[in-house]
């Protein structure tokens, strides 16, 4: 009997500044719901669309590695750290497609917020020629009702999950997962305010942030320690 074709490969690109439970829980749920063979979290090195994060790509990828330590179905894909120039998703998908061959199903996973700006992405019209796109709901964001993206959705959206297996690329699927209202922006703001982010991200990621003193409030690290009176220079 011929063996079943291997399941689709998923890719969730992000700045992951830092990675949090919203990313991770969505990743596991989408992996299981769509029966993906594996899902790669792909940190971008040079975001094409926003200012370079203060936190280095190496630190952001190291945190993704730590977050995925105990879940072999999720992997960190570091290819964007190995390229120079803006980390265009279309280039990464073209590389992955080259590695997987033309027949294997490949799914790019995006949150609603990322979808809204998809038409500003580099060669965005080529994305569906390389992969399917799975859009995941995110608290506070709605699908657009009109405009370029709404028209594009009408043209390419499928409601049948089987279409992810019957073709290697070309469909758009929208999935509602468990809503988790967590963002990296909020985590950075909490840390900068000296507040706790425990339970918003995995403990090993929190330990990494503390150990490397990432996202601290401005000046917290650079203030000189107070000297006990008379301890220096005899003053």
Ligand X SMILES: O=C(O)c1ccc[n+]([C@@H]2O[C@H](COP(=O)([O-])O)[C@@H](O)[C@H]2O)c1
Ligand Y SMILES: Nc1ncnc2c1ncn2[C@@H]1O[C@H](COP(=O)(O)OP(=O)(O)OP(=O)(O)O)[C@@H](O)[C@H]1O
Query: Which of 10, 18, 22, 47 lies at the binding interface for ligand X (CB under 6 A)?
Result: 47
What is the C-alpha separation between 106 and 131, in angstroms, rounded? 5
Instruction: Name which of residues 123 to 152 contact ligand Y (CB under 6 A).
Output: 136, 138
Residues whose CB falls within 8 Å of the CB of residue 143, separated by 6 or more in sequence, listed in order? 112, 115, 135, 150, 153, 174
- Judged by CB under 6 A, the stretch of 69-77, 88-96, 161-169, 182-190 that binds ligand Y is 182-190
Query: Apex CA 214: angle with CA 213 and CA 218, to 5°?
Result: 90
222 binds, among ligand X, ligand Y, none (CB under 5 to 8 A by kind): none
Contact string 88-117 vs ligand Y (x = CB under 6 A): ----------------------xx-xx---
Peptide bond into 31 cis (omega under 30): no
- Nearest approach in angstroms of CB 74 to ligand Y is 13
What is the C-alpha separation between 144 and 167, in angstroms, rounded? 26
- Is 183 a residue that touches ligand X (CB under 6 A)? no
> Which among 78, 144, 90, 146 has a CA at the least distance from the CA of 121?
90
- Is 89 a residue that touches ligand X (CB under 6 A)? yes
The residues of the shown chain that bind ligand Y, judged by CB under 6 A, are 14-17, 22-23, 26, 110-111, 113-114, 136, 138, 180, 182-185
């Amino acid at each position: 009997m011929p063996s079943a074709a291997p399941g689709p490969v998923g890719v969730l690109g992000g700045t992951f500044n830092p990675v949090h439970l919203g990313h991770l829980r969505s990743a596991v749920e989408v992996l299981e719901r769509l029966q993906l063979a594996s899902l790669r979290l792909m940190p971008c090195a040079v975001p094409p669309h926003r200012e370079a994060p203060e936190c280095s790509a190496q630190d952001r990828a190291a945190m993704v590695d730590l977050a995925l330590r105990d879940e072999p179905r999720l992997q960190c894909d570091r290819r964007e750290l190995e390229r120079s120039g803006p980390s265009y998703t279309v280039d990464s998908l073209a590389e992955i497609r080259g590695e997987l061959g033309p027949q294997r199903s490949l799914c790019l996973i995006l949150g609603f917020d990322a979808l809204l700006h998809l038409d500003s992405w580099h060669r965005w019209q080529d994305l569906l020629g390389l992969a399917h796109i799975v859009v995941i709901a995110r608290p506070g964001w709605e699908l657009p009702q009109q405009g370029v993206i709404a028209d594009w959705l009408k043209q390419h959206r499928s409601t049948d999950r089987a279409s992810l297996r019957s073709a290697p690329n070309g469909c758009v699927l929208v999935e509602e997962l468990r809503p988790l209202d967590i963002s990296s922006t909020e985590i950075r703001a909490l840390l900068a305010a000296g507040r706790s982010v425990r339970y918003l991200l995995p403990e090993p990621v929190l330990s990494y942030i503390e150990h490397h003193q990432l996202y601290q409030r401005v000046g917290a690290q650079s203030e000189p320690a107070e000297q006990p009176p008379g301890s220096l220079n005899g003053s």
